[in-house]
C-alpha cells in the first residue's frame, strides 16, 4: 500500500511549531462570528454580471483596513482575441473591476502565494421558489442561504479570514501573498486572465471553490456558444409553406446531443481519470429565444449553451469540430436541408482544462493542513470537476500550480443555494495553515 500523501509531506509541522498551529486554529475560531457576518455582508451585495462594483468596494475596503497594497483595475477589452488567456465577449465590463491586495514580507524566505476567488454570481431564477429571499444571507442552523453563498463568496471570505488568523496568531508570512477578488468567472474567465495580464504571478494559487473539502485533480475545458437558426415565416393561412425556426433549433439541439455522446465516448482513451464522471462533457442549453409573433411561423430562433471537452485538447480545435459537425448535420438531415447554415457565435469561456499532477509539494502541504484542520480525515480526497475553473487560466497560461479546494455547499446555480458554516470554518483553518507553511512564517517580537 502506498504511503498517504499527507505523510509523505509533513510540511506543515516541519515549518510550524505545535504552538503556532494551535494559535492559528484558535484565531480562526475566535473570529468566526465576525467571519460569518462579513460573509452575510458580501452575499447581500448583489453581484450579478456587470453589477460587481458594490461587493468589490466592500472587499477593497476590507483589504485596505488590513494594510494591504490594494489595486483595482478593469478588464482590458483590447486583449480579447490577442492574448490566448482571454475568451470572447462583447459585454461591456468597464465598471466591473478586479481587486488585488498584496503584502510583501520584510524578510523574504518562503514561497509566494495567491489566494483567488470570484465575486460574480449567476441569476437567481424565480425568487418565489426560494426558501429565503436569494440575497438575504439568511442563517439557519449550520447553513447560510443565498445566491453566491457557496459559489463562491464563502471561499473569498475564508481566504481573507485565513490570512487574518495567521496575523492574529502573532505571525508574519515570509513570502509575498496576494488576495485576488475577480469577476467574470461565471462567463468568460477574463477576470483571471486580466490578473495574469497585469503581471501577477505566484508559486501557487489556491481557489476555494465549493468542492466539499476535496481538491480538484482535473477539470474539463469549456466552450460557450450562441447559435442562431433561420426558418421560413408564414401566416397560419399558409402554414404548410413555412418552416418553424423553433423546430429547426430543436432539431439542431438534438444533433448537439449526438455530438455530446461522441465526445463522451472518447473518455476511456482520452482521459481515464474521467472514467467515474457521469457526464464530463455536460452539454447544457441554458437560454432560448425565438419567434416574432404568436400567430406566425417563427423566422428566427437563438439559443445559448456550453459543452465540455477533455484536458490536453485546445479550445479552438474543439470549437472548429463543433462547427464542422453542425454544418454536416444541416446538409445531411432532411429536416434541415434547404435551411441556412446555423450561425455560431462564441460568447464566453473558450478555455482548455487542466490536470493537477499528483505528488506536488503544494498538494502535499494542503493535504497536511486539511488533516490538521479536521483530524477525522485521514486523507485529502482528489476528484474531477467537469466544469470551467479559473484555475485552468493560471495553470495553462501562468504556469502556476493551481489548487482548488473549498467548503461544502449545496444547490449552487440552483434554488436555495447554501453553504455549510462548519465546513467553512474547517476550510478557513486549512487555508491558514497552508498559507503559513507554504510561505513560511516569522514570529513578531512580542510572540518570539
pLDDT digits (tens, 9 = 90+) for 191-214: 999 999 999 999 999 999 999 999
Q: What is the Cα 353 distance to its own chain's centre?
A: 12
Q: Is the pLDDT of residue 26 over 60?
A: yes
What does the block give as the cell for 81? 482575441
Range from 1-10, 142-151, 377-386 carrying the lowest mean pLDDT: 1-10
How many helices (DSSP H) and strands (DSSP E) are in the chain? 13, 18
Q: What does pLDDT average to over the chain?
A: 94
Q: Among candidates 268, 283, 24, which has minimal Cα distance to 166?
A: 24
Q: Is the pLDDT of residue 2 over 50?
A: no
pLDDT per residue as tens digits for the range 123-144: 999 999 999 999 999 999 999 9
Q: Is the pLDDT of residue 68 over 60?
A: yes
In the block, residue with C-alpha cell 486539511: 370
Give the separation between CA 87 and CA 319, rounded to whole angstroms.
12
pTM of the model: 0.94
Check residues 315 and 109 and name the one with the higher pLDDT.
Answer: 315
In the block, residue with C-alpha cell 509566494: 112
pLDDT per residue as tens digits for the range 274-314: 988 999 999 999 999 999 999 999 999 999 999 999 999 99
> What are the structural domains, with CATH classification, of the chain?
5-218+354-443 (3.40.630.10), 221-351 (3.30.70.360)
The whole-number average pLDDT for the span 97-124 is 94
What does the block give as the cell for 318? 474543439
Amino acid at each position: 500500500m502506498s504511503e498517504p500523501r499527507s505523510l509523505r509531506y509533513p510540511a506543515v509541522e516541519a515549518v510550524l511549531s505545535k504552538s503556532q498551529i494551535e494559535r492559528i486554529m484558535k484565531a480562526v475560531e475566535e473570529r468566526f462570528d465576525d467571519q460569518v457576518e462579513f460573509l452575510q455582508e458580501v452575499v447581500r451585495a448583489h453581484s450579478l454580471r456587470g453589477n460587481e462594483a458594490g461587493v468589490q468596494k466592500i472587499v477593497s475596503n476590507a483589504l485596505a483596513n488590513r494594510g494591504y497594497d490594494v489595486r483595482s483595475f478593469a478588464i482590458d477589452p483590447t486583449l480579447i482575441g490577442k492574448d490566448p488567456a482571454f475568451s470572447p465577449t462583447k459585454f461591456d465590463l468597464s465598471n466591473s473591476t478586479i481587486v488585488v491586495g498584496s503584502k510583501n514580507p520584510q524578510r523574504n524566505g518562503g514561497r509566494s502565494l495567491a489566494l483567488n476567488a470570484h465575486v460574480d454570481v449567476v441569476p437567481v431564477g424565480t425568487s418565489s421558489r426560494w426558501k429565503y429571499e436569494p440575497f438575504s444571507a439568511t442563517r439557519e442552523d449550520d447553513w447560510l442561504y443565498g445566491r453566491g453563498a457557496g459559489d463562491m463568496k464563502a471561499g473569498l471570505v475564508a481566504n481573507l479570514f485565513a490570512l487574518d488568523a495567521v496575523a492574529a496568531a502573532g505571525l508574519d508570512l515570509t513570502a509575498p501573498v496576494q488576495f485576488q477578488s475577480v469577476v467574470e468567472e461565471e462567463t468568460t474567465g477574463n477576470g483571471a486572465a486580466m490578473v495574469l495580464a497585469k503581471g501577477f504571478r505566484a508559486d501557487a494559487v489556491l481557489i476555494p471553490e465549493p468542492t466539499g473539502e476535496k481538491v480538484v485533480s482535473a477539470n474539463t475545458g469549456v466552450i460557450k456558444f450562441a447559435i442562431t437558426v433561420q426558418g421560413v415565416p408564414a401566416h397560419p393561412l399558409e402554414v404548410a409553406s413555412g418552416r418553424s425556426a423553433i423546430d429547426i433549433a430543436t432539431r439542431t439541439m438534438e444533433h448537439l446531443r449526438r455530438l455530446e455522446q461522441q465526445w463522451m465516448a472518447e473518455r476511456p482513451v482520452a482521459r481515464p481519470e474521467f472514467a467515474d464522471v457521469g457526464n464530463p462533457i455536460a452539454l447544457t442549453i441554458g437560454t432560448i429565444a425565438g419567434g416574432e409573433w404568436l400567430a406566425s411561423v417563427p423566422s428566427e430562433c437563438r439559443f445559448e449553451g456550453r459543452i465540455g471537452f477533455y484536458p490536453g485538447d485546445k479550445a479552438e480545435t474543439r470549437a472548429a469540430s463543433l462547427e464542422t459537425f453542425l454544418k454536416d448535420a444541416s446538409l445531411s438531415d432532411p429536416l434541415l436541408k434547404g435551411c441556412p447554415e446555423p450561425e455560431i457565435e462564441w460568447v464566453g469561456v473558450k478555455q482548455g482544462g487542466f490536470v493537477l499532477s499528483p505528488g506536488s509539494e503544494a498538494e502535499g502541504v494542503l493535504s497536511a493542513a486539511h488533516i490538521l484542520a479536521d483530524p477525522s480525515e485521514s486523507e485529502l480526497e482528489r476528484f474531477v470537476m467537469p466544469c470551467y475553473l479559473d484555475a485552468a487560466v493560471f495553470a495553462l497560461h501562468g504556469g502556476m500550480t493551481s489548487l482548488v479546494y473549498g467548503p461544502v455547499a449545496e444547490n449552487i446555480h440552483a434554488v436555495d443555494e447554501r453553504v455549510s458554516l462548519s465546513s467553512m470554518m474547517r476550510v478557513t483553518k486549512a487555508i491558514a495553515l497552508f498559507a503559513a507553511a507554504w510561505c513560511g512564517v516569522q514570529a513578531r517580537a512580542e510572540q518570539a
